[in-house]
Amino acid sequence: MLLFFECEPKAARRFSVHRPFTSYIICATQRSGSTLLCEALKNTNLAGYPEEYFDALKSTGVPRRPLEYFSEILDEELIAIFKGRERPDEEQRQPPPGMSYQDYLEHAIKISTSPNGVFGTKVMWGYFPDFISKLRDIPQYQELPTTTLLSTIFPDPHYIYVTRRDKIGQAISLWKALQTWVWRKEDVTNNIGPTRHLYFHFRAIDHLVQLIEQYEESWQQFFAEHDIQPFTIVYEELVETYEATLRAVLRELNIAVPANLIVRNGKLQRQADELSTSWIQQYNFMKQAAQVTL
């Protein structure tokens, strides 16, 4: 997530909320539909303003770079695909120079808390262990067990797990986003994402399918080890029952919902297109052919 000090939600600026009284953590994998859920929750102005503020890796201080997704299979072809597509680390550093991680954390909590005292955030497994490690670098948190640590920082935490059935479609969506830096179609409209040729790469997509599955297994293991029963949302069901799913989440969080609450349709546009469909077919064909030759 890019630095956010100039983009606090208007509601957060109008009210002084120092500490939330309840929190939720959206536990997800990239391109699982978590952004759609976050948008729905933010639009209510009742459930915090969940964003991805803790995605920097401990080793670099910035979010995972595109090529770092493929360290296990990196070759000259992949390096060539991403040449010139990186962004300067200075645009993404967490925390920014001169700020401690504790101050960064407190600021993120402040601007992600809605006027009614609800805080929300989103984390991906790919950097969740790094996030926990960085929290433990703060002296008062060093000895706390993981769930105690999280509940100390995020009061009364609820865990929301977002998953997507179509793992191939998810991996292709991620592969396209890594090439373009376009994580939502609005980025193209706002001229944020570069317009460049997109490359199909079977090994890269197959690697991302496996990576997503590994990350989801790690989330399930984390929930089991810590006796957490998350509220689970399936992307395909969220799309079909947008308002009903949103209201179910609000009930799960014990948020008082006014009778006149109007659920606005999300502004996010579906990113799957004819190219995505074509790539899914091409991937499936090549995957089946590879299995036949084994």
User: Which residues form the catalytic set?
Assistant: 52
Residues in the chain, overall count: 294
Q: How far apart are CA 90 and CA 162, in angstroms?
A: 30
Give me the torsion for CA of 50, 144, 94, 73, rounded to 10°: -90
Cα separation, 150 vs 123, whole angstroms? 12
Asked if 219 contacts 129 with a C-beta cutoff of 8 angstroms, the reply is no
Interior/surface letters 76-95, b for 16+ CB within 10 angstroms, e for the rest: eebeebbeeeeeeeeebbbb
Closest to 205 in 3D by CA, of 278, 128, 144, 263: 278
CB 31 within 8 A of CB 133: no
For the beta carbon of residue 39, count every other beta carbon within 10 angstroms: 16
